Amino acid sequence: MLLRTEGTYYARTEHGGHQVVADDQGFLVTWPSGAVRYPSARQTIIALTNREPQPSPRHRDPKVSSHRYFRRGRFGDPGPQIDTFALFSPNLTVVAPVIVLKSSPDLSIAIPVGIDLAKRGHEVRKLFYAGYGRRVTRHGYDPEDVLQEVYQGLLVRNRGKCPFDPSKSSFGHYVHMVCGCIVSNYRRRYSRLERNEQFGVLTMNDGAYEMQDVRDSNLAVVGPLQGEAVETESTQRVLETLVSARASTVGVSPVLARQCFGLMVKGYRKGEIVTLTGEPPNKIAKMLRLIRQTAAEWRTYVGL
């Protein structure tokens, strides 16, 4: 559809701002490479939106009318409704502006976001100890160290994308949420260290399983075995003692339990253990379940 008014128009800024001359023969677009005439407004708009002087059928058709694209008619800018020169006429009447006081919900009051720890740090401390003090202590961490992490997290959030906004949440809810994130991250970080670092060795002392300093353990008098061999042998001794104690507790033979454990360590299967021990299969199966359950509880206890 051609524009009703012939004249000079311009493509939109995002399409290059090229000059477009509309006349009774079509549209003449001035491209940097030269002027090209198009017979219809549709082809003109396709060429302009695709920035292609010679568009092909594969180019996208925006399906926009020429009046809308060139912002003419009802799509144009209406402009000022009064004559500018009328403002300076001799009969100009000055009317005092009317100030309308709106109700409080419509007032736009700038509310500061973020938490000033210099003023509200003691409130953060109370909320932290009330909500997470016992949990942090139960994990073996110093609450004051974790509290410093909370303070640091609040300061980072004050400068970030999610500072405290009174219009979105309450102070207590926001601080509690931040404390939960900090405590979880603190726990996750130091759990990785606990899984890879161990102070002392696990040994049996008077039938109880406990952590001992290396100088007090039997590692100090171990012979030439080194590294993994020492650790494997120590672990096997601990597990054998635990299995024997568990067997006595549930009323089965500790001797058979130690014998089955030794065969399992050497790689024997259930059928082979039945043959070697001469015990019934159901009894051996019960014993193997006891050994596996004891080993699983031991792994959970030591955090493996």
Is residue 267 a part of any domain in this protein? yes
The pTM assigned to this predicted structure is: 0.34
User: Can you read off the two tokens belonging to residue 33?
Assistant: 């490479």
The Cα–Cα gap between 236 and 228 comes to 12
pLDDT in tens, 163-197: 898 888 899 999 999 999 999 999 888 887 766 66
Q: Which of 24, 53, 75 is the last residue of a domain?
A: 75
- 283 and 230 belong to one structural domain: yes
Is residue 224 a part of any domain in this protein? yes
- 226 and 277 belong to one structural domain: yes
Is residue 49 a part of any domain in this protein? yes
**What distance, in Å, lies between the first and last C-alpha atoms of the chain?**
77
Question: Can you tell me the mean pLDDT for 106-119?
Answer: 72
- 174 and 224 belong to one structural domain: no
Q: Is the pLDDT of residue 252 over 60?
A: yes
Is residue 219 a part of any domain in this protein? yes
pLDDT in tens, 189-242: 888 776 666 666 666 666 566 666 666 666 555 454 455 555 667 777 888 888
Question: Can you tell me the mean pLDDT for 242-253?
Answer: 84
131 closest CA partner among 181, 193, 57 = 181
- 295 and 222 belong to one structural domain: yes
The single-letter code of the amino acid at 203 is: T
- 59 and 128 belong to one structural domain: no
- 189 and 209 belong to one structural domain: no
**Where is average pLDDT lowest: 34-43, 55-64, 79-88, 273-282?**
79-88
- 267 and 209 belong to one structural domain: yes
User: Can you read off the two tokens belonging to residue 304?
Assistant: 């493996």
- 205 and 291 belong to one structural domain: yes
Q: 265 with 236: CB under 8 angstroms?
A: yes
The CA dihedral of 242, 244, 250, 255, to the nearest 10 degrees, is 170
pLDDT at 14: 80
- 168 and 150 belong to one structural domain: yes
Is residue 280 a part of any domain in this protein? yes
- Among 49-63, 75-89, 100-114, 198-212, the range of highest mean pLDDT: 49-63
Q: Is the pLDDT of residue 99 over 60?
A: no
Diameter of the chain measured on Cα atoms: 125
Q: 81 with 67: CB under 8 angstroms?
A: no
Q: Number of folded domains in the chain?
A: 3
pLDDT in tens, 15-39: 888 888 888 888 888 988 888 998 8
Mean pLDDT of the chain: 79
pLDDT at 96: 43
Question: Can you tell me the mean pLDDT for 78-91?
Answer: 55
- 170 and 227 belong to one structural domain: no
Is residue 176 a part of any domain in this protein? yes
The Cα–Cα gap between 34 and 46 comes to 17
More confidently predicted of 291 and 198: 291
Q: Which of 136, 170, 196 is the last residue of a domain?
A: 196
Is residue 81 a part of any domain in this protein? no
pLDDT at 80: 52
Question: Can you tell me the mean pLDDT for 111-126?
Answer: 87
Q: How confident is the model at residue 95 (pLDDT cuts 50, 70, 90)?
A: very low
Domain membership of residue 24 as a residue range: 7-75
Q: Is the pLDDT of residue 152 over 60?
A: yes
Is residue 180 a part of any domain in this protein? yes
Question: Can you tell me the mean pLDDT for 238-247?
Answer: 84
Percentage with pLDDT > 90 across the chain = 12
Question: Can you tell me the mean pLDDT for 91-119?
Answer: 60
pLDDT at 173: 92
Q: Is the pLDDT of residue 94 over 80?
A: no
Question: Can you tell me the mean pLDDT for 70-75?
Answer: 78
**Where is average pLDDT lowest: 11-15, 42-46, 177-181, 276-280?**
11-15
- 174 and 247 belong to one structural domain: no
Q: Which of 179, 196, 213 is the last residue of a domain?
A: 196
The Cα–Cα gap between 67 and 72 comes to 5
Tell me the DSSP string of the chain: ---SS-EEEE--GGGT--EEEEETTEEEEEETTEEEEESSHHHHHHHHHHT-SS--TTS------HHHHTT-GGGS----SS-GGGGGSTT----PPPP-PPPGGG-------S--HHHHHHHHHHHHHHHHHHHHHHTT--HHHHHHHHHHHHHHHHTSS----TTTS-HHHHHHHHHHHHHHHHHHHHHHHHHH--SSEEEEETTEEEEE-GGGSGGGG--S--HHHHHHHHHHHHHHHHHHHHHHHHTS-HHHHHHHHHHHHTT--HHHHHHHH---HHHHHHHHHHHHHHHHHHHHHHT-
- 150 and 206 belong to one structural domain: no
Contacts of 204 (CB under 8 A, 6+ apart): 210, 237, 238, 241
